[in-house]
C-alpha cells in the first residue's frame, strides 16, 4: 500500500470515529429482520412510487416473505394515497400503533396521524420525535423486510434514521437528467459516510414510449444513472420507463405491481426487487 493511500485510509477512519462520537446506539426494530431504505437526492424523481412497488415486488417474487412499508417522509407522506389507505392506526395493549393493511402489506405513515390537507409545519425536534414514534412505537409483527420511503435530500431525518436503526442497504432512485444525478450522488455518498451499504441505483423515467406509434424518446436523457452507477462502483438495479400506466395506477391507489401484474412495468419493478435481494445476500456474506 502506498504512503498516500495509507494516509487517506487513516483519515477516513478518523472521520468515521469523529462522526460516531456521541451518536445513539443502533437498535433493531422489533420483529424486523432487514431494513431497506429507498432514497433520492431530490424530490420529484418517483421515489415513493418506486418504494411502494419495490415492497410489493418483494412480496410478489416470494410469497413466503413478509414485507412492511414505512413512510418516513414526514412533510410529504405519499404512501396513504399510493396504497389507498385512510384512517388512524389502532393501539395494541402495549400502546403500540398497528399498521394499516392493504394488498396484504402492513403500512405506517405520518399521513395516518394528521389530516389529509393539514400542513405539517414542525421544527426539527418535533420531526425527530415523530420519526422516533414511527420507528419505535409500531407493532410490525414479524417481517422479513421493512421498506422505508425516506424523505428526499440528505438532512436530519435521514441521519437520524441511519443512526438509530441498523439498515441492510439503501436503494437510490434518480432520473437520468444531470441535475437529478448530481443529487443522487450526494445521497449515495451520505449513506457511505454513515456506513450504510448502497445496494444500487434505480433509473426511473428512463424512456417514454409513445402509445400510438411505439416510438421511444429519452425525455430526461439516456443512461445517466448507468454512468453514475459505474462511477460510484455500485450496481444499476434496473430501469423503470416513463409510462402512463404507472402514473394512473399510482393516482388510483392501485400500484402497478398488483393492479397490472402481467405488464412490462410491473415486471420491471419485480426485476429490481430480485436484484435488491441478490445484493442483500452479497452484503450479508
pLDDT given for residue 97 in this prediction: 95
Contacts by 277-280, CB closer than 8 A, 24 or more apart: 277/58, 277/61, 277/62, 279/169, 279/197, 279/199, 279/200, 279/235, 279/237, 280/34, 280/36, 280/168, 280/169, 280/199
Residue 78 DSSP SS3: coil
For residue 1, is it within any domain?
A: no
Q: How many domains does the chain have?
A: 1
Beta bridge partners of 169: 36
DSSP assigned state of 98: P
For residue 24, is it within any domain?
A: no
For residue 26, is it within any domain?
A: no
For residue 16, is it within any domain?
A: no
For residue 6, is it within any domain?
A: no
Walk along the chain (285 residues) and give the pLDDT tens digit of each residue.
Answer: 556 666 677 776 766 665 555 555 789 999 999 999 999 876 778 899 999 999 999 999 999 999 999 999 887 889 999 999 999 999 999 999 999 999 999 999 988 987 765 556 566 677 788 888 898 999 999 999 999 999 887 677 888 899 899 999 999 998 776 565 677 788 888 898 889 999 999 988 765 666 666 656 655 546 666 677 777 778 889 888 878 888 899 999 999 999 999 999 999 999 999 999 999 999 988
Rounded to whole angstroms, the Cα distance separating 29 from 59 reads 20
For residue 71, is it within any domain?
A: yes
pLDDT given for residue 48 in this prediction: 94
* CATH number assigned to the domain comprising residue 88: 3.40.50.300
For residue 55, is it within any domain?
A: yes
Q: What is the CA angle 167-271-69, rounded to 5?
A: 40
pLDDT given for residue 136 in this prediction: 92
**Cβ–Cβ under 8 Å, residues 238 and 225:** no
For residue 174, is it within any domain?
A: yes
Domain that holds residue 149: 36-284
Alpha carbons within 13 angstroms on the beta-carbon side of residue 125 total 0
Amino acid at each position: 500500500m502506498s504512503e498516500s493511500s495509507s494516509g487517506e485510509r487513516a483519515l477516513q477512519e478518523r472521520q468515521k470515529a469523529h462522526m460516531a462520537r456521541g451518536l445513539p446506539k443502533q437498535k433493531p426494530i422489533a420483529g424486523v429482520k432487514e431494513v431497506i431504505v429507498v432514497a433520492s437526492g431530490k424530490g420529484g424523481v418517483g421515489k415513493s412510487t418506486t418504494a411502494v412497488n419495490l415492497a410489493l415486488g418483494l412480496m410478489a417474487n416470494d410469497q413466503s416473505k413478509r414485507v412492511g412499508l414505512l413512510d418516513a417522509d414526514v412533510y410529504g407522506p405519499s404512501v396513504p394515497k399510493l396504497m389507498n389507505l385512510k384512517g388512524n392506526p389502532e393501539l395494541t395493549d402495549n400502546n403500540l400503533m398497528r399498521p394499516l393493511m392493504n394488498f396484504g402489506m402492513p403500512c405506517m405513515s405520518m399521513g395516518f396521524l394528521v389530516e389529509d390537507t393539514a400542513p405539517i409545519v414542525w421544527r426539527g425536534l418535533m420531526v425527530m420525535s415523530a420519526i422516533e414514534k414511527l420507528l419505535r412505537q409500531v407493532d410490525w409483527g414479524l417481517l422479513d423486510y421493512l421498506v422505508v420511503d425516506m424523505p428526499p435530500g440528505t438532512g436530519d431525518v435521514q441521519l437520524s434514521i441511519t443512526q438509530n436503526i441498523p439498515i441492510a442497504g439503501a436503494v437510490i432512485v434518480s432520473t437520468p437528467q444531470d441535475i437529478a444525478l448530481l443529487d443522487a450522488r450526494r445521497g449515495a455518498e451520505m449513506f457511505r459516510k454513515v456506513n450504510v451499504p448502497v445496494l444500487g441505483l434505480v433509473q426511473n423515467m428512463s424512456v417514454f414510449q409513445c402509445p400510438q406509434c411505439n416510438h421511444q424518446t429519452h425525455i430526461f436523457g439516456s443512461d445517466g444513472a448507468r454512468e453514475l452507477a459505474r462511477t460510484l462502483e455500485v450496481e444499476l438495479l434496473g430501469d423503470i420507463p416513463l409510462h402512463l400506466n404507472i402514473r394512473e395506477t399510482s393516482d388510483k391507489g392501485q400500484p402497478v405491481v398488483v393492479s397490472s401484474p402481467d405488464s412490462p412495468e410491473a415486471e420491471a419493478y419485480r426485476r429490481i426487487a430480485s436484484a435488491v435481494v441478490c445484493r442483500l445476500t452479497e452484503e450479508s456474506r
